[in-house]
Amino acid sequence: MIHENYSLKKLNTFGIEASARYYTECSSIDQMIEILSQKPFVNAQKLILGGGSNLLFTKNFDGLVLKNNLKGIELIKEDKDFYFVKAGAGEVWHTLVMHCIANNYAGLENLSLIPGNVGASPMQNIGAYGAEIKDHFFELEALHISDKKIHTFNNATCKFGYRESVFKREFKNQYIITSVTFKLLKNPSFNTRYGAIEKEMEAMGVKEINIQAISQAVCNIRSSKLPNPTEIGNAGSFFKNPEVTSDKYKSLKVQFPSIVGYDLENGNVKLAAGWLIEQCGWKGKTIGDAGVHKLQALVLVNYNNAKGSEILNLSQQIMDSVKDIFGVDLEREVNII
CB 47, CB 5: distance < 8 Å: no
How many CB atoms are closer than 10 A to CB 245? 12
- The string of DSSP letters for 132-174 reads EGGGTEEEEEEEETTT--EEEEEHHHHT-BTTB-GGGTTTTTT
CB 335, CB 56: distance < 8 Å: yes
Instruction: Name which of 197, 37, 55, 68 is nearest 131 in CA terms.
Output: 197
Q: Which helix (H) or strand (E) holds 335?
A: strand 335-336
CB 176, CB 70: distance < 8 Å: no
Q: Which residues of 143-161 are buried (b: 16+ CB within 10 A; e: fewer)?
A: bebeeeeeeebebeebbbe
Q: Which helix (H) or strand (E) holds 177?
A: strand 175-185
Q: Angle between the 211-225 and 195-204 helix axes, to the nearest 10 degrees?
A: 100
Give the C-alpha separation, 269 to 86, whole Å. 35
Name the DSSP letter for residue 255. H
- Which residue numbers are catalytic? 163, 237, 333
